[in-house]
Amino acid sequence: MATSTLQQDLSIEQQLSQMAASLGLTTFTIGNYGEMLRQLNAALTSFVPPGSTLAVAPSLTVAETIPRAVGAQSVTLSTVSGTIYMVGVYIPINTVINNFNVVTGSTASSNDVTINWAALTNASRVMLAASANATAQLTPAGFVNTLPVATTAAGAATSFTTTYSGLYYIAYTVGATTTQPTLTGVTAAGTELTKIVPILMGTSSTAATATVPTFPTTFGAITATASIIYSYLN
């Protein structure tokens, strides 16, 4: 990353360009101040501090529930058809989310998946965006199950932009006719820490179907579990 020290003999426009470059923005268009500030804000939003786990997350990741190296510790997190799993994630304001991603564990599902969708909620579990139900999608062992954003409260969409920095939840549910897939993540010795408010991970509704909920939907209260699913957004 370029140095963040500003040269005092530069114009304001050049200093803004230098600040953006120090944050990793490769192109910067000098124009009106409003546009330059927008570009700088975009660089600030996407900036990954040195040492951040996002630096070693999958490509283009904007948020992940747990560091990928931690999530690799367990690949046998069991799933129950129709159960919605909620996992907390910190996301900065103005972050653009295009895809939900979960990774199957060592047990693959058969090619008979009937339920396979994800959603994003705010800290109060109110749904903000959701994918479509990907019934035709295979989920073999170690498969990166990518579910693109399909709807928001405003209607059909291909992305969602966060409106605050803080806690969000990724809701995910999967169901297969015969073999339920396992998921990657980590399992603690107990639920003592995950029970502390805000709950980090747990189960919500146990009666989800292939029909993705409509807006506005508030998911049910979360019952804490010891298992934390690895999921990332890009």
> For 183-229, how does the pLDDT look when each residue is reduced to its tens digit (9 = 90+)?
999 988 788 888 889 998 999 999 999 999 999 999 999 999 999 99
Let me know whether 24 and 136 are in one domain.
no
Show Cβ contacts of residue 36 under 8 Å, excluding neighbours closer than 6 positions.
13, 16, 17, 28, 29, 30
Alpha carbon distance 205, 201 (integer Å): 13
Let me know whether 86 and 67 are in one domain.
yes
Mean pLDDT for the chain?
85
Let me know whether 25 and 133 are in one domain.
no
Let me know whether 66 and 31 are in one domain.
no
Lowest mean pLDDT among 7-11, 113-117, 143-147, 223-227: 7-11
* Stated pTM of the model: 0.78
Mean pLDDT of 121-136: 95
How sure is the predictor about 44, in pLDDT bands with cuts at 50, 70 and 90? low
Q: For the chain, what is the domain count?
A: 2
Let me know whether 174 and 225 are in one domain.
yes
The per-residue pLDDT for 89 is: 94
Residue 3 lies in a domain: no
Let me know whether 42 and 104 are in one domain.
no
Show Cβ contacts of residue 214 under 8 Å, excluding neighbours closer than 6 positions.
none
Query: Where in the sequence is the domain holding 31, given as residue range(s)?
Result: 12-47
Higher pLDDT, 116 or 33: 116
Let me know whether 106 and 33 are in one domain.
no
The per-residue pLDDT for 2 is: 44
